[in-house]
Amino acid sequence: MTEIEKRTKSGWKLENSYAQLPELFFSSLDLSPVFHPELVILNYSLAESLGLDIQDLQDEEGVAILAGNQIPDGSSPIAQAYAGHQFGYFTTLGDGRAMLIGEQITPQDERFDIQLKGSGRTPYSRHGDGRAVLGPMLREYIISEAMHALGIATTRSLAVVTTGESVIRETELPGAVLTRVADSHLRVGTFQYAASLGTVDDLKALADYTLQRHFPDSNTVENPYLFLLEEVIRRQADLIAKWQLVGFVHGVMNTDNMTISGETIDYGPCAFMDTYDPKTVFSSIDTYGRYAYNNQPYIGLWNLARFAETLLPLLHEEKEKAIKLSKGAVSEFIQLYNQNWLSGMRAKLGIFNAELGDRSFMERLLGAMHKYGADYTNTFLALTFDKFEDTTLFESEEFLEWYDLWQRRLDRQEESRDLSRRLMKNSNPALIPRNHRVEEALEAAEEREDYSVMKRFLDALSNPYAHSIGQIKYSRLPEPSAIPYRTFCGT
Ligand code: AMP
Ligand code: MG
């Protein structure tokens, strides 16, 4: 058995297949230890599925590893290089504050990137300090785990460790390291980096690596690079439709924050909307609403067009033909997205079959929700349980007319009302990580070192379709406020 194939005491079994790519794609890293690491939250079920020992992860050595103070046997830490369009402008980037300690091989022989976020400076840090602040790391933990439980592809959070060091932002804040787990950290921006700074051979090496890692079915297809493009488009059309269906606003859909695996990544300024408003923007820096809720599918399309451009040299040796292939693939996105959204919305309304007028029927409901300032999640919950509290929406003529149409629509399908109800329960979450609840959990943790609020919240979020009594309090709306909720990148 080679060194790399052994599982350590804690269960780490790390490889680094990414480091076999040409050197321009990464930099090897030295550790930059933190002063006094303390584990504040650990994801037991994720740890177990990764083959890690929960007890050992919590002892001194276990925590030292999660803080980036020590590396497990077999690990050779790297930072990955990438580029990206940030708010439309192209830049060269790279992990400025993250260290990939390796790819964990699970007992089921799956491979997951293990990345420490906030672990110190790297060659890509530019003017940054390479560190992360506790609040935003806990926020990422909560929202990414909530997304996972909602059935939305996402990077996961294994642990947060405080560093015992302060991080200087506008004020002095407690530092932390988040362990992020991902199918991979390959991004649209990784391909942009290869296409702009590498040779065609470098690009090909990256594409081949990606195919092998994420799309093994490509072995049998005629044009594997076209297959890669089509599959990434398909996965993003699925992902973004799911975001829309739960009211998730990513907030920073730069091309470096769009994965090839189809996982949601980069929980900076994201948030879930309460009141349904298609123009919802939470991010304090998204002045023009580029990444507003209703723009997300179009930004997805724009990003995928940038991805397609990077693949041109591989799609066909004749440029014209390559362009034609890429345009053909990209033009499928909106249709795929629409299909996903429509079938997701049908399920939210307990509908099993498709009818021609479905979109306008759904838009009538959404239009009324918008007009009367209805809560997105709770409107669907009210429909699911036939429990209409006296909100202006439910008393409105628009809603009552729509409700009639809906009843007739349900009558026209074969499936029983019971089956419809069951479908709706499985498609409409009892709770989402509402902003005021997230803030409440963070405040308890940051100001009082009380993690119990966060843990109870995580517990309720872990099974959003259970519709249990314990979840009811989390569906309550925040007190009305004149100040809109704002989010920050948390860098
Ligand atoms: P993001 O907006 O989170 O996608 O980050 C954009 C880029 O800034 C990425 O390359 C990050 O690695 C980098 N970055 C963010 N925060 C820091 C930091 N504190 N120190 C160094 N680099 C950072
Ligand atoms: Mg990012």
Q: Does residue 4 carry a pLDDT above 80?
A: no
DSSP bridge partners of 161: 39, 177
Ligand 1 and 375: CB distance under 6 A:
no
At residue 68, what are phi and psi to the nearest 5 degrees? 80, 20
How far, CA to CA in Å, does 254 sit from each of 59, 85, 259, 316? 38, 6, 10, 27
Q: What's the average model confidence in pLDDT over 415-434?
A: 98
Does residue 20 lie in a domain region?
yes
Residue 103 tokens read as 């790819």
Boundary (domain end) residue, out of 125, 148, 182: 182
**How many residues in the chain?**
491
Ligand 1 and 269: CB distance under 6 A:
no
| Predicted local confidence at residue 1, as pLDDT | 41
d(Cα 244, Cα 241) in Å, to the nearest integer? 5
How far, CA to CA in Å, does 341 sit from each of 92, 243, 268, 347? 34, 10, 25, 10
Provide the residue type at 464 as one letter. Answer: P
What is the CB neighbour count within 10 angstroms for residue 476? 12
| Predicted local confidence at residue 2, as pLDDT | 45
d(Cα 82, Cα 100) in Å, to the nearest integer? 14
Protein residue with least CA distance to atom 16, ligand 1: 491
Ligand 1 and 429: CB distance under 6 A:
no
Q: Tell which atom from ligand 1 comes closest to the C-alpha of 93.
A: 10
Does residue 328 lie in a domain region?
no
Which residues touch 480 (CB under 8 Å, ≥6 apart)? Answer: none
Q: What's the average model confidence in pLDDT over 338-349?
A: 98
Residue 115 tokens read as 């990345």
Q: What's the average model confidence in pLDDT over 380-397?
A: 95
- What is the SS3 assignment for 218-235? HHHCCCHHHHHHHHHHHH
Cα dihedral 358→464→371→286 (10° resolution): -110
Q: Does residue 423 carry a pLDDT above 60?
A: yes
Which SS3 state, helix, strand or coil, does residue 283 take?
A: strand
Does residue 223 lie in a domain region?
no
Q: Does residue 257 carry a pLDDT above 80?
A: yes
Q: Does residue 396 carry a pLDDT above 90?
A: yes
Q: What's the average model confidence in pLDDT over 59-70?
A: 98
| Predicted local confidence at residue 482, as pLDDT | 81
Contact 177, 97 (CB under 8 A): no
| Residues near ligand 2 ion, CB 5 Å cutoff | 257, 266
| Predicted local confidence at residue 295, as pLDDT | 98
Q: What's the average model confidence in pLDDT over 110-133?
A: 98
Would you name the residues annotated as active-site residues? 256
Q: Mean pLDDT over all residues of the chain?
A: 97
Boundary (domain end) residue, out of 145, 167, 182: 182
At residue 98, what are phi and psi to the nearest 5 degrees? -135, 150
| Predicted local confidence at residue 74, as pLDDT | 83
Q: Tell which atom from ligand 1 comes closest to the C-alpha of 127.
A: 21
Angle of helix 224-246 relative to helix 319-330, nearest 10 degrees, comes to 30
Closest ligand to C-alpha of residue 95 is 1
| Predicted local confidence at residue 5, as pLDDT | 58
Protein residue with least CA distance to atom 11, ligand 1: 96
Does residue 77 lie in a domain region?
yes
Does residue 372 lie in a domain region?
yes
DSSP bridge partners of 79: 27
Q: What's the average model confidence in pLDDT over 233-262?
A: 98
Protein residue with least CA distance to atom 15, ligand 1: 491
Q: What's the average model confidence in pLDDT over 426-447?
A: 98
Cα dihedral 334→335→336→338 (10° resolution): 80
The number of folded domains in the chain is 2
Which residues touch 144 (CB under 8 Å, ≥6 apart)? Answer: 154, 155, 156, 157, 264, 267
Residue 15 tokens read as 């490889």
Which residues touch 202 (CB under 8 Å, ≥6 apart)? Answer: 22, 24, 25, 194
Ligand 1 and 353: CB distance under 6 A:
no
Closest ligand to C-alpha of residue 120 is 1
Q: Phi-psi category of 157—alpha, beta or left, where left has phi over 0 and alpha has psi -120 to 50?
A: beta
Which SS3 state, helix, strand or coil, does residue 131 take?
A: strand
Residue 275 tokens read as 């009141």
Q: Does residue 250 carry a pLDDT above 80?
A: yes
Provide the residue type at 296 as one letter. Answer: Q
Boundary (domain end) residue, out of 156, 182, 208: 182
Does residue 234 lie in a domain region?
no
At residue 99, what are phi and psi to the nearest 5 degrees? -130, 125
Mind listing the pLDDT tens digit for each residue in 153-206? Answer: 999 999 999 999 999 999 999 999 999 999 999 999 999 999 999 999 999 999
Nearest to 254 by CA among 311, 298, 300, 310: 300
Ligand 1 and 131: CB distance under 6 A:
yes
Q: Among 87, 91, 97, which residue has the most ligand 1 atoms within 8 Å of its CB, making it the best to mutate? A: 97
Nearest to 134 by CA among 88, 67, 202, 43: 67
Does residue 253 lie in a domain region?
no
311 Cα–ligand 2 center, Å: 22
Which residue in this structure is represented by tokens 């003017």? 127
Ligand 1 and 489: CB distance under 6 A:
yes
How far, CA to CA in Å, does 217 sit from each of 55, 222, 237, 302? 38, 11, 19, 26
DSSP bridge partners of 486: none
Protein residue with least CA distance to atom 2, ligand 1: 489
Does residue 321 lie in a domain region?
no
Mind listing the pLDDT tens digit for each residue in 90-115? Answer: 999 999 999 999 999 999 999 999 99
Q: What's the average model confidence in pLDDT over 310-323?
A: 98
Q: Tell which atom from ligand 1 comes closest to the C-alpha of 129.
A: 20
Residue-range definition of the domain harbouring residue 373: 351-425
d(Cα 12, Cα 74) in Å, to the nearest integer? 9
pTM comes to 0.98
**% of the chain with per-residue pLDDT over 70:** 99
96 Cα–ligand 1 center, Å: 5
308 Cα–ligand 1 center, Å: 25
Which of 47-51, 279-283, 367-371, 483-487 is predicted with the least confidence, judged by mean pLDDT? Answer: 483-487
Sign of the torsion angle spanned by Cα atoms 390, 395, 398, 400: positive
Q: What's the average model confidence in pLDDT over 354-358?
A: 97
d(Cα 167, Cα 221) in Å, to the nearest integer? 50
Which residue in this structure is represented by tokens 């033009």? 331
Q: What's the average model confidence in pLDDT over 270-294?
A: 97
300 Cα–ligand 1 center, Å: 21
